[in-house]
A = this chain, B = another copy of it.
Amino acid sequence: MPNITVELLSGRTLDQRREFAAAVTEAAVGILKARREAVRILFTEIEKSDVANGGVLESDK
């Protein structure tokens, strides 16, 4: 722990994932005093046609 799930719209690069995973792990270790090797981050890519905000699919906006 912590076990962190990141739902995000598809389109980010692998480098952005690398950087974000490193930054969030740093914050978990520094602020939450988590053990580095115990910090797990899972990225789940979402398409605009998968998600609706305010009742309208993002792909229809």
B residues near A41, Cβ cutoff 8 Å:
51-53
**How many identical subunits does the complex contain?**
6
**What DSSP secondary structure best describes chain A's contact surface?**
mixed
Contact with B along A11-49 (1 / 0, CB 8 A): 010101111111111111001101011111111111001
Asked whether A18 lies within 8 Å of B53 as measured between CB atoms, the reply is no
13 CB-based A-B contacts, threshold 8 Å: A3-B6, A5-B5, A12-B32, A20-B27, A20-B31, A21-B57, A22-B55, A23-B24, A23-B27, A23-B31, A24-B27, A37-B54, A42-B46
Known contacts A3-B6, A4-B5, A45-B50; 7 further A-B pairs (Cβ under 8 A): A14-B59, A16-B32, A20-B32, A21-B55, A23-B31, A26-B55, A42-B51
